[in-house]
Amino acid sequence: MVQPYDDRDGFIWKDGALVPWREANVHILTHAMHYGSSVFEGQRAYGGKIFKLSEHSERLRKSASILGFDLPWSVEEIDNACMEVLEANGLTDAYVRPVAWRGSEQMGVSAQKTLPHLAIAAWNWGKYFDEEKARKGIRLDIAPFRRPAPHTAPVHAKASGLYMICTISKHHAESRGYDDALMFDWEGRVAEATGANAFFVREGKLYTPIADIFLNGITRRTVIDLARDRGIEVIEKRIWPEELASFEEFFLTGSAAEVTFVSEAGPWTFSPGEISRQLQADYMNLVNGRPVKN
Protein backbone atom coordinates (compact mmCIF):
# COMPACT_ATOMS: atom_id res chain seq x y z
CA MET A 1 0.00 0.00 0.00
CA VAL A 2 1.32 3.45 -0.92
CA GLN A 3 1.76 5.71 2.10
CA PRO A 4 -0.42 8.84 1.81
CA TYR A 5 1.46 12.09 1.53
CA ASP A 6 -0.43 13.62 4.46
CA ASP A 7 0.50 10.83 6.87
CA ARG A 8 4.28 10.64 7.09
CA ASP A 9 7.03 11.19 9.58
CA GLY A 10 9.39 14.10 9.14
CA PHE A 11 9.28 17.86 8.79
CA ILE A 12 8.00 20.41 6.28
CA TRP A 13 9.17 24.01 6.16
CA LYS A 14 6.12 26.29 6.28
CA ASP A 15 6.21 30.09 6.32
CA GLY A 16 9.61 30.31 7.93
CA ALA A 17 9.73 27.39 10.33
CA LEU A 18 9.92 23.60 10.33
CA VAL A 19 6.70 21.93 11.44
CA PRO A 20 5.89 18.23 11.95
CA TRP A 21 4.84 16.69 8.61
CA ARG A 22 1.27 15.87 9.67
CA GLU A 23 0.71 19.42 10.96
CA ALA A 24 1.63 21.19 7.71
CA ASN A 25 -1.96 22.02 6.79
CA VAL A 26 -3.99 24.86 5.27
CA HIS A 27 -7.61 25.90 5.75
CA ILE A 28 -10.31 24.48 3.49
CA LEU A 29 -11.15 28.03 2.31
CA THR A 30 -7.63 28.75 1.11
CA HIS A 31 -7.88 30.78 -2.10
CA ALA A 32 -5.51 28.47 -3.95
CA MET A 33 -7.80 25.47 -3.48
CA HIS A 34 -10.78 27.26 -5.01
CA TYR A 35 -9.16 29.38 -7.71
CA GLY A 36 -5.83 27.73 -8.52
CA SER A 37 -3.70 30.63 -7.19
CA SER A 38 -0.68 28.46 -6.52
CA VAL A 39 2.77 27.92 -8.02
CA PHE A 40 5.35 25.24 -7.33
CA GLU A 41 8.73 23.78 -8.18
CA GLY A 42 10.02 20.24 -8.56
CA GLN A 43 13.72 19.66 -7.97
CA ARG A 44 16.00 16.78 -7.13
CA ALA A 45 18.81 16.43 -4.63
CA TYR A 46 21.75 14.20 -5.49
CA GLY A 47 24.27 13.40 -2.78
CA GLY A 48 22.90 16.12 -0.54
CA LYS A 49 23.01 18.87 -3.19
CA ILE A 50 19.90 20.18 -4.98
CA PHE A 51 20.64 20.50 -8.68
CA LYS A 52 20.40 24.10 -9.89
CA LEU A 53 18.65 25.10 -6.68
CA SER A 54 18.83 28.87 -7.16
CA GLU A 55 17.38 28.64 -10.67
CA HIS A 56 14.40 26.81 -9.23
CA SER A 57 13.98 29.37 -6.46
CA GLU A 58 14.19 32.22 -8.95
CA ARG A 59 11.55 30.58 -11.13
CA LEU A 60 9.27 30.07 -8.13
CA ARG A 61 9.39 33.77 -7.32
CA LYS A 62 8.85 34.67 -10.98
CA SER A 63 5.88 32.31 -11.27
CA ALA A 64 4.25 33.87 -8.22
CA SER A 65 4.82 37.35 -9.65
CA ILE A 66 3.21 36.34 -12.95
CA LEU A 67 0.15 35.21 -10.99
CA GLY A 68 0.07 38.59 -9.26
CA PHE A 69 1.49 37.90 -5.81
CA ASP A 70 5.01 38.49 -4.55
CA LEU A 71 6.84 36.19 -2.16
CA PRO A 72 8.48 37.92 0.83
CA TRP A 73 11.29 35.34 0.81
CA SER A 74 14.40 36.00 -1.25
CA VAL A 75 16.05 33.44 -3.53
CA GLU A 76 18.74 32.92 -0.90
CA GLU A 77 16.16 32.38 1.85
CA ILE A 78 14.26 29.86 -0.27
CA ASP A 79 17.52 28.08 -1.11
CA ASN A 80 18.43 27.86 2.57
CA ALA A 81 14.96 26.60 3.50
CA CYS A 82 15.20 23.82 0.90
CA MET A 83 18.52 22.68 2.32
CA GLU A 84 17.12 22.91 5.85
CA VAL A 85 14.31 20.55 4.87
CA LEU A 86 16.76 18.01 3.45
CA GLU A 87 18.84 18.08 6.61
CA ALA A 88 15.85 17.91 8.97
CA ASN A 89 14.57 14.81 7.19
CA GLY A 90 17.96 13.14 6.92
CA LEU A 91 17.82 13.02 3.12
CA THR A 92 20.60 13.16 0.53
CA ASP A 93 18.94 11.80 -2.62
CA ALA A 94 15.42 13.17 -2.72
CA TYR A 95 12.70 15.05 -4.52
CA VAL A 96 12.07 18.56 -3.18
CA ARG A 97 8.75 20.35 -3.63
CA PRO A 98 8.42 24.07 -2.80
CA VAL A 99 4.86 25.36 -3.21
CA ALA A 100 3.55 28.92 -2.79
CA TRP A 101 -0.09 29.94 -2.59
CA ARG A 102 -2.60 32.61 -1.70
CA GLY A 103 -4.14 32.25 1.74
CA SER A 104 -7.66 32.31 3.16
CA GLU A 105 -8.03 36.01 4.06
CA GLN A 106 -10.41 36.65 1.15
CA MET A 107 -12.89 34.49 -0.77
CA GLY A 108 -13.93 35.14 -4.36
CA VAL A 109 -12.07 35.63 -7.60
CA SER A 110 -10.53 38.84 -6.27
CA ALA A 111 -7.58 38.07 -3.99
CA GLN A 112 -5.76 41.33 -3.20
CA LYS A 113 -6.21 40.87 0.55
CA THR A 114 -4.82 37.35 0.70
CA LEU A 115 -1.39 36.72 2.17
CA PRO A 116 1.29 34.68 0.38
CA HIS A 117 2.43 31.39 1.89
CA LEU A 118 5.32 29.08 1.16
CA ALA A 119 5.96 25.47 2.13
CA ILE A 120 8.76 23.08 1.20
CA ALA A 121 8.66 19.29 1.50
CA ALA A 122 11.18 16.61 0.54
CA TRP A 123 10.92 12.85 0.27
CA ASN A 124 12.55 9.82 -1.29
CA TRP A 125 11.19 9.44 -4.81
CA GLY A 126 12.78 7.09 -7.29
CA LYS A 127 12.45 7.22 -11.04
CA TYR A 128 9.37 9.06 -12.30
CA PHE A 129 8.67 6.31 -14.84
CA ASP A 130 8.97 2.56 -14.34
CA GLU A 131 12.69 1.78 -14.75
CA GLU A 132 12.22 -1.38 -16.78
CA LYS A 133 9.92 0.36 -19.25
CA ALA A 134 12.16 3.43 -19.39
CA ARG A 135 15.18 1.38 -20.45
CA LYS A 136 13.39 0.40 -23.65
CA GLY A 137 11.41 3.64 -23.94
CA ILE A 138 8.03 4.56 -22.52
CA ARG A 139 4.83 4.69 -24.58
CA LEU A 140 2.94 7.96 -25.06
CA ASP A 141 -0.67 8.42 -26.08
CA ILE A 142 -1.79 11.61 -27.81
CA ALA A 143 -3.40 13.89 -25.21
CA PRO A 144 -7.06 14.85 -25.61
CA PHE A 145 -6.21 18.42 -24.47
CA ARG A 146 -3.79 20.94 -25.95
CA ARG A 147 -1.47 23.42 -24.29
CA PRO A 148 -3.23 26.80 -24.13
CA ALA A 149 -2.43 29.77 -26.32
CA PRO A 150 -0.15 32.36 -24.68
CA HIS A 151 -2.89 34.98 -24.77
CA THR A 152 -5.25 32.70 -22.79
CA ALA A 153 -3.11 31.58 -19.82
CA PRO A 154 0.12 32.46 -17.95
CA VAL A 155 2.09 29.85 -19.90
CA HIS A 156 5.51 30.87 -18.51
CA ALA A 157 4.53 30.32 -14.88
CA LYS A 158 4.82 26.93 -13.21
CA ALA A 159 1.26 27.39 -12.01
CA SER A 160 -0.71 24.54 -10.46
CA GLY A 161 -3.86 25.35 -12.42
CA LEU A 162 -2.10 24.75 -15.74
CA TYR A 163 -1.57 21.10 -14.76
CA MET A 164 -5.28 20.25 -14.62
CA ILE A 165 -5.31 19.28 -18.30
CA CYS A 166 -2.07 17.36 -17.75
CA THR A 167 -3.67 15.21 -15.05
CA ILE A 168 -6.71 14.54 -17.25
CA SER A 169 -4.47 13.67 -20.21
CA LYS A 170 -2.20 11.39 -18.17
CA HIS A 171 -5.18 9.55 -16.70
CA HIS A 172 -6.64 9.15 -20.19
CA ALA A 173 -3.33 7.70 -21.40
CA GLU A 174 -2.92 5.33 -18.47
CA SER A 175 -6.47 4.03 -18.87
CA ARG A 176 -5.50 3.05 -22.42
CA GLY A 177 -2.30 1.26 -21.40
CA TYR A 178 0.17 4.09 -22.07
CA ASP A 179 2.70 5.61 -19.66
CA ASP A 180 2.06 9.27 -20.44
CA ALA A 181 0.72 11.56 -23.14
CA LEU A 182 2.23 13.80 -25.79
CA MET A 183 0.50 17.17 -25.85
CA PHE A 184 0.11 19.41 -28.88
CA ASP A 185 -0.13 23.18 -28.64
CA TRP A 186 -3.18 25.29 -29.36
CA GLU A 187 -2.40 25.24 -33.10
CA GLY A 188 -1.83 21.49 -33.25
CA ARG A 189 1.97 21.46 -33.17
CA VAL A 190 4.07 19.21 -30.94
CA ALA A 191 4.56 20.79 -27.51
CA GLU A 192 5.57 18.54 -24.59
CA ALA A 193 4.48 15.63 -22.43
CA THR A 194 2.27 16.16 -19.38
CA GLY A 195 5.22 17.08 -17.17
CA ALA A 196 8.35 17.02 -19.32
CA ASN A 197 9.86 18.66 -22.39
CA ALA A 198 10.41 16.78 -25.66
CA PHE A 199 13.53 16.18 -27.76
CA PHE A 200 13.95 14.35 -31.07
CA VAL A 201 16.95 13.12 -33.05
CA ARG A 202 17.30 12.99 -36.82
CA GLU A 203 20.52 12.40 -38.76
CA GLY A 204 22.72 13.33 -35.82
CA LYS A 205 20.92 16.57 -34.98
CA LEU A 206 18.80 17.33 -31.94
CA TYR A 207 15.39 18.94 -32.39
CA THR A 208 13.06 20.39 -29.76
CA PRO A 209 9.90 22.53 -29.94
CA ILE A 210 10.35 26.24 -29.29
CA ALA A 211 9.48 26.82 -25.62
CA ASP A 212 7.57 30.07 -25.96
CA ILE A 213 4.08 28.72 -25.23
CA PHE A 214 4.97 26.24 -22.52
CA LEU A 215 7.52 26.08 -19.70
CA ASN A 216 11.16 26.26 -20.78
CA GLY A 217 12.33 23.61 -18.35
CA ILE A 218 15.54 23.89 -16.37
CA THR A 219 16.42 20.33 -17.37
CA ARG A 220 15.60 21.21 -20.98
CA ARG A 221 18.11 24.05 -20.94
CA THR A 222 20.69 21.83 -19.24
CA VAL A 223 20.39 19.12 -21.89
CA ILE A 224 20.68 21.70 -24.69
CA ASP A 225 23.94 22.91 -23.13
CA LEU A 226 25.23 19.34 -22.78
CA ALA A 227 24.41 18.60 -26.42
CA ARG A 228 26.17 21.73 -27.65
CA ASP A 229 29.20 20.93 -25.51
CA ARG A 230 29.44 17.68 -27.48
CA GLY A 231 29.17 19.49 -30.79
CA ILE A 232 25.65 18.26 -31.44
CA GLU A 233 23.61 20.77 -33.41
CA VAL A 234 20.46 21.77 -31.52
CA ILE A 235 17.54 23.07 -33.56
CA GLU A 236 14.58 24.73 -31.81
CA LYS A 237 11.68 24.84 -34.23
CA ARG A 238 7.96 24.38 -34.71
CA ILE A 239 7.30 20.68 -35.12
CA TRP A 240 4.09 19.45 -36.73
CA PRO A 241 2.88 15.90 -35.97
CA GLU A 242 3.50 14.84 -39.58
CA GLU A 243 7.22 15.40 -39.00
CA LEU A 244 7.41 12.84 -36.18
CA ALA A 245 7.70 9.98 -38.66
CA SER A 246 11.09 11.35 -39.76
CA PHE A 247 12.70 11.24 -36.31
CA GLU A 248 14.77 8.28 -35.16
CA GLU A 249 14.99 8.97 -31.41
CA PHE A 250 12.71 10.67 -28.89
CA PHE A 251 13.31 11.46 -25.22
CA LEU A 252 11.75 13.56 -22.47
CA THR A 253 13.47 15.83 -19.95
CA GLY A 254 12.42 17.16 -16.56
CA SER A 255 13.56 17.32 -12.95
CA ALA A 256 11.32 14.35 -12.13
CA ALA A 257 11.69 12.51 -15.44
CA GLU A 258 15.41 13.36 -15.77
CA VAL A 259 16.19 12.01 -19.30
CA THR A 260 13.67 9.33 -20.30
CA PHE A 261 13.59 7.47 -23.61
CA VAL A 262 10.36 7.23 -25.61
CA SER A 263 9.64 4.24 -27.85
CA GLU A 264 6.18 5.19 -29.04
CA ALA A 265 4.01 8.31 -29.37
CA GLY A 266 0.61 7.64 -30.89
CA PRO A 267 1.26 5.96 -34.26
CA TRP A 268 4.97 6.92 -34.35
CA THR A 269 7.79 4.68 -33.10
CA PHE A 270 11.36 5.44 -32.00
CA SER A 271 14.42 3.64 -30.63
CA PRO A 272 16.88 4.92 -28.01
CA GLY A 273 20.07 5.63 -29.95
CA GLU A 274 23.58 6.91 -29.49
CA ILE A 275 22.67 10.57 -28.91
CA SER A 276 19.84 9.85 -26.47
CA ARG A 277 21.97 7.44 -24.46
CA GLN A 278 24.95 9.81 -24.42
CA LEU A 279 22.90 12.76 -23.23
CA GLN A 280 21.23 10.65 -20.57
CA ALA A 281 24.64 9.55 -19.30
CA ASP A 282 25.98 13.11 -19.44
CA TYR A 283 23.01 14.42 -17.49
CA MET A 284 23.29 11.79 -14.77
CA ASN A 285 27.02 12.44 -14.45
CA LEU A 286 26.41 16.18 -14.18
CA VAL A 287 23.71 16.03 -11.49
CA ASN A 288 25.75 13.55 -9.45
CA GLY A 289 28.87 15.71 -9.57
CA ARG A 290 30.82 13.33 -11.78
CA PRO A 291 32.93 14.48 -14.76
CA VAL A 292 31.09 14.75 -18.07
CA LYS A 293 33.57 13.08 -20.41
CA ASN A 294 33.90 14.35 -23.98
Instruction: Indicate which residues carry an active-site annotation.
Output: 158
Q: Could you give the CA distance from residue 46 to residue 289 in angstroms, rounded to a whole number?
A: 8
Burial of residue 185 (CB within 10 Å: 0-12, 13-18, 19+) is buried
Backbone CA torsion sign across 168, 63, 192, 285: negative
DSSP 82: H
Cβ neighbors of 97 (< 8 A, separation 6 or more) are 40, 41, 42, 43, 120, 121, 122
HSE of 274 in the Cβ direction (CA atoms, 13 Å)? 6
**How far apart (Å, rounded) are the C-alpha atoms in residues 72 and 70?**
6
